[in-house]
Amino acid sequence: MMLRIENVLDKGSLDAVRRTIDAGPWVDGNETSGHQSRSAKRNRQLRQGCKEAAEAGRMVLDALGKAPEFVAAALPLKVFPPLFNRYAGGENFGAHVDNSIRQLAGSEFRIRSDLSATLFLEEPDAYDGGELVVEDLFGEHRVKLRAGDMVLYPASSLHRVTPVTEGTRTACFFWLQSMVRDDCEREQLYRLDRSVRVLTEERGPHDPVVLELTNLYHNLMRRWADA
């Protein structure tokens, strides 16, 4: 499942994140590359573990916790600390797949990467190129969102970032381990949750149909989730 989640960062939060990361140290993006992606990657990255990355990452995580669509779709169990990258002057990231296991350097924290996320931090008309291209059996999905919006997609997908030929593309990216490993099961839970929320608004929380669907949702979570 691919999902656009709008307004993860409002203007104030977006400005605060940009001020923080713009003041930080930017290094070769291969600092966190795996073996396969290293030869395909040409970009810059905010140095992992620096104080600016930690502060901006906390702001992003705080915003994610307040984004109901993200929580409903991702069902997050563990989130890898957010990272930040930039592309300019023809930089790009060729086709690759994300590592199945991500470990935070110098720690015992690790996750199974079920989902990947890109949170756009630059308006789309500020740069040329820089589309995130995600491939599946239906073909290619090209993504270039407004600043503050995020795309969530399976980490198992083959994906790439097209060359940025004018301007600078700045984004936040991270991976997460979901309570529900299977993408199809996770999508069905999201669709059911969304329907329950709509019906609750229309009929109220004590309507028999709402109660029955809520019961079904939680029983499926008990069956599928690892908490």
Contacts of 181 (CB under 8 A, 6+ apart): 112, 114, 226
- For 78-114, the pLDDT digits (tens) are 999 999 999 999 999 999 999 999 999 889 999 999 9
Looking at the fold, whether 62 and 169 belong to one and the same domain comes out as yes
**Domain identity same for 113 and 41:** yes
Q: Residue 90: CB partners within 8 Å, gap ≥ 6?
A: 42, 163, 164, 165
Specify the pLDDT at position 37. 57
Computed over every residue of the chain, the mean pLDDT equals: 95
Residue 217 tokens, joined: 């949702």
Arithmetic mean of pLDDT, 117-146? 97
Domain with 137 in it: what CATH number?
2.60.120.620
Element (H, E) at 193: helix 183-203
Question: 30-49: per-residue pLDDT in tens?
Answer: 876 555 556 689 999 999 99
Number of domains observed in the structure of the chain: 2
Average pLDDT score over residue span 67-85? 97
What is the pLDDT confidence band of residue 150, given thresholds at 50, 70 and 90? very high
At residue 29, the pLDDT reads: 86
How far apart CA 103 and CA 111 sit, in angstroms, is 7
CA 130 to each of CA 76, 122, 166, 170: distance values in angstroms, whole numbers, following the listed order: 27, 11, 9, 10
Same domain, residue pair 189 and 156: no
What is the model's pLDDT at position 175? Answer: 98
Residue 21 has what pLDDT?
Answer: 98
Overall average pLDDT of the 208-227 stretch = 97
Joined together, the tokens standing for residue 14 give 């977006």
Tell me the average pLDDT across 157-174.
Answer: 98
Domain carrying residue 170: 3-178
What pLDDT score was predicted for residue 33?
56
Is 98 found in the same domain as 73? yes
* Tokens of residue 167, six digits: 């301007």
Give the E-state strand segments of 13-73 in sequence order: 26-28, 41-42, 44-46
Q: Are residues 130 and 217 in the same domain?
A: no
Instruction: Using DSSP bridges, classify how beta strands 92-96 and 41-42 pair: parallel, antiparallel or unpaired.
Output: antiparallel
Same domain (yes/no): 170, 190: no
**Which pLDDT belongs to residue 86?**
98
